[in-house]
């Protein structure tokens, strides 16, 4: 019986006012099954399956406005219809004792005219297009006086998330989406107060944080960041400086958590790159969530070595709705099927991954 010591991932944790029973978090996962940008009843089962008593779940990226969309059938939270559609999903998670945060997002230039109101160009910090021009239309840079409206879209989305019953919101500041298009110096070529210096490039993100904190309270706000990533051609020349600057700026607002994506460098690099988030973890005053290719053992190590308070799992949780139970028992994991990540099927690759108890639904 080697399982006498409790795995660090399975120890309780106090996330602000929320009492978590374990430290395994459902990462935000785009699933593209919200037809016409409206969450569907099949999402009730999907999120409920992945809920455990005292478990934290983060919703798929949810658009703050019509201009925020860049993927077919990804949900939004700007309309009354969307808010009403989210309510039974949130209720189902709460019924099983889970905690659900809504990840609110704007894709910026990771879009094309087909997704935009009246076929207009996507908006960004820049007019620099992504290299795949067949997939992504060249963007239009936001005018300085337009930026407060986008900040307000995020504020309203957070207010709507509260109306839908969510426990909090996670601001999507990662993976090359709009906020990162301002943060990263390889994208942001502005000459106004939103471009140039670190302070200027972080201004947009911090204005969004401030607006949302003022609307819903800092104890209900998290943010996801990926300073080291190069998703959607959004790299930075000094990711460490960027990451440190923004987490120290976030401390002023007292937000609940910072969710940061590991560099996930599989190429032959310096070994210490695995621990590159440590200085940001130390600098941030709130809860620190790490994500990016974790398994059971290195997730336990991250908590044991105090490199993270919580660990977010994406593909493993997608394919294993009872992931915490499987980790507890060191049970084999279902393999995920990449081919069904982004289909519109309401069951296959969505709610049909088996539980350890073969007869399925909890």
- Confidence check: pLDDT of 270 > 70: no
pLDDT digits (tens, 9 = 90+) for 42-101: 999 999 999 999 999 999 999 999 999 999 999 999 999 999 999 999 999 999 999 999
- Confidence check: pLDDT of 275 > 60: no
pLDDT digits (tens, 9 = 90+) for 96-125: 999 999 999 999 999 999 999 999 999 999
Strands 287-291 and 310-313: parallel
3-state secondary structure of 276: coil
pLDDT, residue 256, reads 99
pLDDT digits (tens, 9 = 90+) for 347-356: 999 999 999 9
- Confidence check: pLDDT of 268 > 50: no
- Confidence check: pLDDT of 358 > 80: no
Residue 358 lies in a domain: no
pLDDT, residue 271, reads 46
- Whether pTM > 0.85 for this model: the answer is yes
Partners of residue 290 on adjacent β-strands: 260, 311
Residue 339 lies in a domain: no
**What is d(CA 95, CA 93) in angstroms, rounded to the nearest whole number?**
5
On average, the pLDDT of the chain sits at 95
CATH number for the domain that contains residue 111: 3.20.20.70
- Confidence check: pLDDT of 360 > 60: no
Per-residue pLDDT averaged across 311-338, rounded? Answer: 98
> Binning pLDDT at 50, 70 and 90, where does residue 282 land?
very high
> Binning pLDDT at 50, 70 and 90, where does residue 361 land?
very low
> Binning pLDDT at 50, 70 and 90, where does residue 2 land?
low
**What is d(CA 295, CA 309) in angstroms, rounded to the nearest whole number?**
15
Per-residue pLDDT averaged across 256-272, rounded? Answer: 71
Per-residue pLDDT averaged across 136-142, rounded? Answer: 99
Residue 334 lies in a domain: no
What is the percent of the chain with per-residue pLDDT over 70, rounded to a whole number?
94
What's the CA angle centered on 340, arms 106 and 168, to 5 degrees? 35
> Binning pLDDT at 50, 70 and 90, where does residue 276 land?
confident
pLDDT digits (tens, 9 = 90+) for 179-209: 999 999 999 999 999 999 999 999 999 999 9
Residue 321 lies in a domain: yes
Query: What is the per-residue burial (b if ≥16 Cβ within 10 Å, else e) of 245-275?
Result: bbbebbeebebbbbbbbbbeeeeeeeeeebe
Strands 18-20 and 13-15: antiparallel
Contact assessment for residue 69 and residue 37, using Cβ atoms and an 8 Å cutoff: yes
Residue 362 lies in a domain: no
Residue 361 lies in a domain: no
164 is written with which tokens?
A: 């839908």
Nearest CA among 174, 177, 120, 127 for reference residue 289: 174
3-state secondary structure of 172: strand
Per-residue pLDDT averaged across 296-325, rounded? Answer: 98
What DSSP element (H or E) covers 247? helix 239-251
**Domain encompassing residue 52:** 9-329
> Binning pLDDT at 50, 70 and 90, where does residue 1 land?
very low
pLDDT, residue 263, reads 85
3-state secondary structure of 304: helix
Contact assessment for residue 190 and residue 144, using Cβ atoms and an 8 Å cutoff: no
Residue 209 lies in a domain: yes
Phi-psi sector, 97: left (phi>0), alpha (psi -120 to 50), beta: left
Contact assessment for residue 106 and residue 181, using Cβ atoms and an 8 Å cutoff: no
> Binning pLDDT at 50, 70 and 90, where does residue 266 land?
very low
Give the per-residue SS3 of 63-101.
Answer: ECCHHHCCCCCCCECCCHHHHHHHHHHHHHHHHCCCEEE
> Binning pLDDT at 50, 70 and 90, where does residue 176 land?
very high
How many domains in the chain?
1
Phi-psi sector, 92: left (phi>0), alpha (psi -120 to 50), beta: alpha
Residue 355 lies in a domain: no
């Amino acid at each position: 019986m080697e399982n006498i010591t409790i795995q660090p991932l399975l120890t309780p944790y106090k996330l602000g006012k929320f009492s978590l029973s374990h430290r395994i978090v459902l990462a935000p996962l785009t699933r593209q099954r919200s037809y016409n940008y409206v969450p569907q009843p099949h999402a009730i089962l999907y999120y409920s399956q992945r809920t455990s008593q005292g478990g934290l779940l983060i919703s798929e990226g949810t658009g703050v406005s019509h201009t925020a969309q860049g993927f077919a059938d990804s949900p939004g939270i700007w309309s009354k219809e969307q808010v009403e559609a989210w309510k039974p999903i949130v209720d189902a998670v709460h019924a099983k004792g889970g905690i659900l945060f809504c990840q609110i997002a704007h894709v910026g230039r990771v879009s094309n005219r087909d997704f935009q109101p009246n076929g207009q160009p996507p908006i960004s910090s820049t007019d620099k297009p992504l290299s795949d021009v067949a997939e992504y239309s060249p963007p239009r840079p936001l005018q300085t006086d337009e930026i407060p409206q986008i900040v307000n879209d995020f504020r309203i989305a957070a207010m709507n998330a509260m109306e839908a019953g969510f426990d909090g919101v996670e601001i999507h500041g990662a993976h090359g989406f709009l906020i990162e298009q301002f943060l990263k110096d390889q994208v942001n070529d502005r000459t106004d107060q939103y471009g140039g210096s670190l302070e200027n490039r972080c201004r947009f993100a911090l204005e969004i944080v401030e607006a949302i904190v003022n609307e819903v309270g800092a104890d209900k706000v998290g943010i996801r960041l990926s300073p080291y990533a190069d998703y959607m051609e959004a790299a930075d020349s000094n990711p460490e400086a960027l990451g440190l600057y923004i987490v120290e700026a976030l401390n002023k607002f007292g937000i609940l958590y910072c969710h940061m994506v590991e560099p996930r460098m599989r190429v032959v690099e310096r070994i210490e790159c695995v621990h590159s988030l440590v200085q940001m973890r130390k600098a941030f005053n709130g809860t620190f969530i790490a994500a990016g290719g974790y398994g059971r053992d290195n997730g336990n190590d991250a908590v044991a070595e105090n490199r993270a308070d919580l660990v977010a799992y994406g593909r493993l949780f997608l394919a294993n709705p009872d992931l915490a139970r499987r980790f507890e028992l060191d049970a084999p994991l279902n393999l995920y099927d990449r081919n069904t990540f982004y289909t519109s099927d309401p069951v296959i690759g969505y709610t049909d991954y088996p539980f350890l108890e073969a007869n399925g639904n909890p």
